[in-house]
Amino acid sequence: MHPLNLISTTFSLLLTIIFYNARVHAAHTSNWAVLVSTSRFWFNYRHLSNTLSLYRTVKRLGIPDSQILLLLPDDMACNPRNAFPGTVYSNSDRRMDLYGTNIEVDYRGYEVTVENFIRLLTDRWEEGVPASKRLLTDEGSNLLIYMTGHGGNEFLKFQDSEEISSWDLADAFSQMREKKRYNEMLFMIDTCQANTLFRQFYADGVIATGSSEEDESSYSHHADNDVGVAVIDRWTYYVLDFLEKEVTELNSDKTLGDLFDSYDVDKIHSRPGVRWDLFPGGEEAGRSRRVVDFFGNVQGVEVQSRDASEELQRDLEGLMKLVEEYQEFAAAQEQNRTLTDEVMAQRDVMKQGQVQVQDMKPMSSIRLKKDTFSPRQIAGAIVLTGLGSLWYFGSKLIV
């Protein structure tokens, strides 16, 4: 291989390694949440409060409204039966209004349908659908999907008029995987026979958990006598209890393993389930994922700090300068070869008596410096310099 080709190939390879390394370290770049209540009517008040409770939690942990899709089929806050108009509570002491003034509902009332939910997940929309109604995730996005309502064996009802099946969800998630719409996904569902809803899943990168096994009901936790109905379900109540007490900071080290270990059948009155087999690394890898990797805002996702970026730029400029110097050296070699060929030709002519000695070009003009580096030494220097830059850049990456 010609020395110039060798050095170009080496330099290109180093750049590829550097930026591939940066991309790998920045694989998880954002967190999104899709929170769905599927029930209408006043007596399903608890399903709305379940969803709004999760909504409040992910906002507390830093996920902005622009990355939360909230689907509410009914507006219990404005229901004429509500003794406390404009409010929704999940506890009988009514210490916290979940509705309040800082809530953004993306799909409301009859917009909450199976078709719209599938379109939302797969991004199969007609032109003109606003960004606020779309799930704008990519291959770097971790996704939390929470669903609650009335269900049965491998189905969940939407507003008592249609159903979504385990196969529907499985196919939608598979399309999302094919279209690189998520990095990792946590699927959570609170309904009767909830664990059957993730039975048919087959897309990679999914952890699924639910409130109850096949032929088990999912129970409400308690009622508010003044509101007149149950205000939250048991499984969601204890999930929130863990999140509120244990995950108090945006950089909390509590893991999904800690969350799932907190499930107490005696308190929940059903058997929650977890499915790990679709997640790379299985249960061991899934249990080690932090809760805030799905419930919180992504912290420190910059590929490099400003200082590291400047230093990397200087390293790359140094490599480029070294390449330019070698190119000049190679060009000089080519010129010297040409001069040498000319002198040898002149010698041949001299032997034939066609020219005089004084017409020859002096040999000193073609003499190379004794301390000139060989092409192999130059290529080695390039490789070592590049690898040193790669090592230094890698140490500056922020995971």
pLDDT tens, residue by residue, 254-279: 999 999 999 999 999 999 999 999 99
> Distance (Å, rounded) from C-alpha 38 to C-alpha 87?
19
| Residues above pLDDT 70, as percent of the chain | 72
Alpha helices for 113-214 (secondary structure H): 114-122, 166-178
Reported as a single tens digit per residue, the pLDDT across 210-233 is: 999 999 999 999 999 999 999 999
In this structure, are residues 378 and 324 in contact, taking their beta carbons and an 8 Å threshold?
Answer: no
Residue 320 pLDDT > 80: no
pLDDT at 101: 77
For 126-171, the pLDDT digits (tens) are 988 999 999 999 999 999 999 999 999 999 999 999 999 999 999 9
Q: Is residue 34 within 8 Å of residue 69, measured between CB atoms?
A: yes
- Rounded CA-CA distance 248/264 in Å is 21
Residue bearing the bigger pLDDT, 312 or 212: 212
**Does the annotation count 150 as an active-site position?**
yes
The yes-or-no answer on residue 221 being catalytic is no
Catalytic residue (choose from 192, 221, 222, 269): 192
Of the listed 78, 150, 221, 222, which one is catalytic?
150
> pLDDT for 3-21, tens place per residue?
555 555 555 545 544 444 4
CA dist 75 and 176 (Å) reads: 30
User: Where is pLDDT greater, at 103 or 395?
Assistant: 103
The predicted pLDDT at position 177 comes to 97
Please determine, for residue 394, whether its predicted confidence score (pLDDT) is greater than 60.
no
Q: What is the pTM of this model?
A: 0.72
> Other CB atoms closer than 10 Å to residue 213's CB: what's the count?
14
pLDDT tens for each residue of 372-381? 555 556 556 5
Give the bridge partners for 185, in sequence order: 143, 206
* pLDDT in the model for residue 378: 56
Q: Work out the pLDDT band at 365, boundaries 50, 70, 90.
A: very low
Percent of the chain residues past pLDDT 90, beyond the cut: 64
